[in-house]
Structure 1
């Protein structure tokens, strides 16, 4: 496997260190999506057009719309409290908004069709090359993944694939499949082998299944930390109550996160 250039390590994200230098610093937060870390990464990528182009080709470009500020924990808590795990619906006085794979895809600009990823890696079924890849990335933290993304050049095919894998895991750890554990979840590791079809894999279902599983566990156990992308629940709720499920308005078109940022998120459930 390729290795990043140490001379480029100065580009490591300051926001990443602030958001998650270690899980112990985040124990007071209910929700784990690190929007500031993702925003900082895309700010970095603007100076590296070849890397940004590759991220867009993989299908993650819409996530550049995530806000460069901390999440409103109170607002996310309202969404979480009103989510019914029995029918996957957010209930409020204003509406009943159901969570679906398609809505996650529209909200985050991710593919919501195609083949779903497996929930775990079966090592005995991997080639030797993929076993080496799995071993290299297993146990990586978001700080390590950020450094890999920012310091790996695209000068060889091997390094290009290293960059792609590091970014795929970074975006899951920071936002799509966030958790309170320092290292990436095993589910994320299933996504780094078939690099030729990353864009057309069912990422929305990948996010959906992890989120539902974690919400059920959290509500059943009265968890102190809520894993999964609660942020997308907030976007779906606000978008559907604002525009309706089948709105043709320009603002309602995917990706929805392009509309819901800044002052548009300064509202509360009724």
Structure 2
């Protein structure tokens, strides 16, 4: 008798979700970071120029620039005007652990945290991340900022003396935002973009669109104090989710919250 056909041949192969590749600028930044950590580039040594990196990696200059800016955000390199990017000395700082917020949602009824924090005297040997103004001008590239503001004031002189009459923001600004979003992989229609007076106003519009007073909002703990003031003003309940400074929001804790609590919105600032 002929052997029965193998049942294995009839079973479809298990589908495996492909792992999404990192964007090109992140791949370049990752490669350079590994070279820095391995000692191939020493502290104070100049890295290849943005143009040279774009040429050797076969990418655009804007993509190479994004890679270097990511290295800047990671504290690995430092930009020097008209000189390029140099390896920065690593700063040794203590890493706190996972936060431990309460496990229930609650209404916020306290003094404005933003105002209280702004009036709080901070010792000179400590750095606070809860305020709404920078502690040092070294956090900004003052030369680039000065040139950008000077160019904008020359090209758009009328904008210095008149208010914006468009409710959703100037069309040119919305178009610029749509073009900028392409670098993040987002294809946005400029007519669908709304320019708000502040980030907090934008978050307020989002919360108003999906919640009603008394609803539960999950958010990072610790978080920006202004978010707490906003949630309180909208009459919402807050459910804090544990957060780690290196890995961010605890996804298992968030999953548990979504399974057991009537969460209507999740508020987070993962890239700040």
Same fold (TM over 0.5): no
TM range (shorter): under 0.3
TM-score in terms of structure 2 length: 0.27
TM-score in terms of structure 1 length: 0.28
More strand by share: 2
Larger RCO (alpha carbons 8 Å, 6+ apart): 1
More helix by share: 1
Q: Which structure: larger Rg?
A: 2
